[in-house]
Amino acid sequence: MKNKKILLIAKETYSWPMILLAEKLKENNDVGLFFICPSECTFNEFELGYSSTYYYAKKNLPDVKQYDVRGISLEFVKNAKTPPVDYDYISMLEKEYTHYKNINLQCMSAQELSRSFHFRSIYGHATHDQRFYWVELNYKQIINVINDFQPDMVLDLNNEMIQRTILSEVCYKKNIPHINVEESKIEDNYHYSFSNTAELDEYFLEDYKRSMNLTESDLAQEYNYIKDFQKRVNIMAERLMDTPNAQYTADSWRKIFRWFLSAAHYEYQKDIKSHNGKLCRANPVFFGEMKKQLSYYTKVELKRKYLFGKNKYFEDPVPGEPYVYVPLHLIPESTTFVQAPLYVNELNNIEMLSKSIPAGWRIYVKEHQTMLGERSFEFYKKVKKIPNVRLVRFNYYQDPKPWITNAKGVFTVTGTGAYEAALLGKRSVIFGEMACQVIDGIEKVNSFRDLSEAIRKFDEPLDNIHSCAAYIHTAQKYGIPLKINYLMMHGKEILRNNLQVDDEYNSQLNQLIDFYEKGYNLYLNREKLKHEGA
């Protein structure tokens, strides 16, 4: 990639690889970095915090143009009590910058603006005026950044945060490719999203349709992958094996105590030693103050410890009982708040599903391991009151496969369970945008009224192996095996001088550059075809 103006989006752990990418790309391009996280660029620097990324770039990349949201964050704090919202400007945004989502739905992509819809009490509730003031400030800043830098492309590695949602709208309006990655659910494979995952990209759908016309022989590799997947005892993706997603036993009290000491040290460094406490107290909408953070997450850890053991909320499945499998989501997370913002109330989803399944069936609701301790006990009590619902013990099985194979089908907002079910020959219903929704047997519904009809199909036979193979073929054609966690964690150690850029890391960066360059050309070709067809 040469002679391009490239704006890289940096946010917390994703900033590490983006900084290293900037160092490589600036040799032949005009590169900019845009830090979009308020705490990252507003806090005073402290070694353990994400702010070290921001200050590293300031000190070590003088030839890279840098932007941030520091100024608007401080302006928000200054005016938070009586925000001077320009509602004429908000009305203009509603008319001009809502190609993918209206303004209220855009607010859902920010956990600090959607406190009413999640359990993280470390954040304060933003008022009506505060929400739109923050939207206004971000739109003005992002439009200024785009106008000043005039990028040929905007490159990204994640879809969360309202700043990315706004970027996608601004880039669409100005016909600038905002090239992001979308998880295909196939091992470590990621492909292009030009909409910040707000919709299924047209290029993907068109290629999937072409792939459906290929023969079984043409798709032999994909067929073999699916057959091998079906034979596996455990189907959880390898990248999740060392994460809380794959945790089925409780942490020891010693480990919890060590966690508390580490968390307390972090909060001390942030609030007291680095003098960020006053800012945190002044803006509880964005920043968690030390006492509130420690209190909240200590309660989370204690609740997690309790829920891993025998308790009054979770029960064992009943052998032979017909059920719809409902794996819950981490709330808040981008797969719901960005990709399905209308359906983030999982209790309401379960209630609607309970009215839609055939008589005699049950709903098996399974908690997400990473959500243990964060979701309220009141939520569990309400779920258990629904007569045809069982809140099942999440660690009854040590893998998703038996939950899926023993089920009539799967219901999820945008979870991996839908893709796994498809490969195992089971139907599923989803509410949000996912690339794998093209696969036969995955039905995206747009209303609760459609649930009954979709669920009834769970008893119909399904032969979807060719559809699964065509999806995998398309996802791998436009994707790369990307070790994002590796890029982030090793990137941090590299920039802290604890590791060197070795061949593996350099290879991953080069693959990423190649991926973005092909995405840029794909975008240009797509736009060219649009103009020729107009």
In whole angstroms, give the CA distance from residue 501 to residue 493: 10
Strands 189-193 and 323-327: unpaired
Q: Which of 81-90, 444-453, 495-504 has the lowest mean pLDDT?
A: 495-504
Asked if the model's pLDDT at residue 527 lies above 80, the reply is: no
pLDDT interval class at 526 (50, 70, 90): confident
What is the mean predicted confidence (pLDDT) over 337-353?
96
* pLDDT band at residue 533 under the 50/70/90 scheme: low
Q: Is pLDDT of 386 > 60?
A: yes
Question: Residue 371: which of 287, 292, 419, 308 has the closest Cα?
Answer: 308
Whole-number mean pLDDT of the chain?
A: 94
- Where in the chain are the domains? 5-204+478-533, 244-308, 323-474
Position 530 pLDDT exceeds 70: no
pLDDT of residue 490: 94
Instruction: Give the residue from 481, 480, 487 showing the smallest Cα distance to 515.
Output: 480
pLDDT band at 288 (very low <50, low <70, confident <90, very high): confident
Tokens linked to 98: 């809502």
The CATH homologous superfamily of the domain defined by 323-474? Glycogen Phosphorylase B; (3.40.50.2000)
For tokens 């796994």, what's the residue? 420
Distance CA 287, CA 282 (A): 9
pLDDT at 287 (0 to 100): 86
Residue 284 binned pLDDT confidence (cut-offs 50, 70, 90): confident
> Are 17 and 487 spatial neighbours (Cβ–Cβ below 8 Å)?
yes
pLDDT in tens, 438-494: 999 999 999 999 999 999 999 999 999 999 999 999 999 999 999 999 999 999 999
**Does 68 score more than 80 pLDDT?**
yes
Listed in sequence order, the residues at least 6 apart from 531 whose beta carbon sits closer than 8 Å to its beta carbon are none
Supply 353's token pair. 């599903």
Q: Are 230 and 394 in contact (CB under 8 A)?
A: no
**CA-to-CA separations, 101 to 84, 146, 503, in angstroms, rounded:** 24, 20, 42
CA distance readout (Å), 160 to 197, 299, 395: 10, 26, 29
Distance CA 521, CA 530 (A): 14
Look at residues 241, 249, 235 and name the one whose alpha carbon lies nearest to residue 372. Answer: 249
DSSP secondary structure letters along 167-222: HHHHHHHHT--EEEEEE-SSTTEEEEESSTTSS--HHHHHHHHHHHTS-TTTTHHH
For strand 442-444 and strand 428-430, is the pairing parallel, antiparallel, or unpaired? Answer: parallel
